Amino acid sequence: MRDPAIRKLKREYFGIDAATDVLSFPAGDFPGPGARPLGDIVISLDTAKRAAKDLGTTLERELALYLAHGLLHLLGHDHQTRADARKMERLERKLLGHAGMLARSDEL
């Protein structure tokens, strides 16, 4: 998704008129047994490209970070307080260190 489209979503659903890197939309309750979707994750490709360039990393690594961040939001995590933000960052690093995800640093 491009910045104008994600900005529109953020304005419409969150009341904030600004582009962002990632948005998460929980799926809500589903009737019946079985697997249930967590929801949708929307990522700004424009923001990811800029951040990758600014941070000297790859687009793939930046997208993996946004995906991990969005997934944590769908699992109920947030970063409204400093402590919550630090916890989310730790969980992101943990997710990014698992097979199939990319670690951002060698600290893992």
pLDDT in tens, 16-68: 999 999 999 999 877 778 888 899 999 999 999 999 999 999 999 999 999 99
In whole angstroms, what is the distance from residue 65 CA to residue 106 CA?
15
CB 18 within 8 A of CB 60: no
Tell me the pLDDT band of 96, cut-offs 50, 70 and 90: confident
Distance, in Å, from the CA atom of 77 to the CA atom of 71, rounded to the nearest integer, reads: 9
Amino acid, res. 105: S
Question: Are the C-beta atoms of 63 and 43 separated by less than 8 Å?
Answer: yes
Please state whether the predicted TM-score (pTM) of the whole model is above 0.85.
no
96 within 8 A of 102, measured Cβ to Cβ:
yes
Out of 62-66, 75-79, 80-84, 94-98, least confident range: 94-98
For the chain, the domains span: 3-96
Over residues 83-94, mean pLDDT: 91
Report the top-level CATH class of 3-96: alpha beta
Query: What is the model's pLDDT at position 9?
Result: 96
Closest Cα partner for 38 from 46, 48, 47, 29? 29
CA nearest neighbour of 57 among 1, 104, 100: 104
CA angle 31, 67, 69 (to 5 degrees): 90
